[in-house]
Amino acid sequence: MDLEFSAEERAFREEVRAFLEARLPRATRDKVLAGRELGREDYLEWQRRLHERGWGGVNWPVEFGGTGWNAVRQFIFEEESALAGAPRLIPFGLKMVAPVLMAFGSAEQQRRFLPKILSAEAWWCQGYSEPGAGSDLASLRTRAVRAGDHFLVNGQKTWNTLGQFADWMFCLVRTDPAAKQQSGISFLLIDMKSPGVRVRPITLLDGTQEVNDVFFEDVRVPLANLVGEENRGWTYAKFLLGHERSNIAGIGPAKRELKRLKRVAQEERRNGRPLAEDPLFAARLARVEIDLVALEITNLRVLSAEGAARAPGPEASILKIKGTEIHQTLSELFVRAAGEYALPLRREAMEAGWQPDHGQAAGPAYASTVMAAYLNQRKLSIFGGTNEIQKNIVAKMAGL
Catalytic positions are 244
**What is the rounded distance in angstroms from the CA atom of residue 37 to the CA atom of residue 376?**
12
**Strand 150-161 versus strand 269-270 pairing type:** unpaired
Contacts for 21-29 with beta carbons within 8 Å, 24 or more apart?
A: 21/84, 23/49, 23/53, 24/49, 24/84, 24/85, 24/86, 28/85, 28/86, 28/87, 29/84, 29/85, 29/86
**What is the rounded distance in angstroms from the CA atom of residue 144 to the CA atom of residue 136?**
19
List C-alpha distances in Å: 136 to 131, 132, 179: 10, 8, 16
Pair 400, 391: CB distance under 8 Å: no
Angle subtended at Cα 87 by Cα 82 and Cα 88, rounded to the nearest 5 degrees: 75
Using DSSP, how many helices (H) and how many strands (E) does the chain show? 14, 9
**What is the rounded distance in angstroms from the CA atom of residue 376 to the CA atom of residue 61?**
34
> How large is the C-alpha radius of gyration of the chain?
22
List C-alpha distances in Å: 11 to 8, 15, 82: 5, 6, 18
Give the dihedral of Cα atoms 393, 395, 396, 398; nearest 10 deg.
Answer: 110
Pair 323, 248: CB distance under 8 Å: yes
Q: Phi-psi category of 25—alpha, beta or left, where left has phi over 0 and alpha has psi -120 to 50?
A: beta
Residues in the chain: 400
Give the dihedral of Cα atoms 107, 113, 115, 121; nearest 10 deg.
Answer: 170
Sign of CA dihedral 149, 155, 161, 163: positive
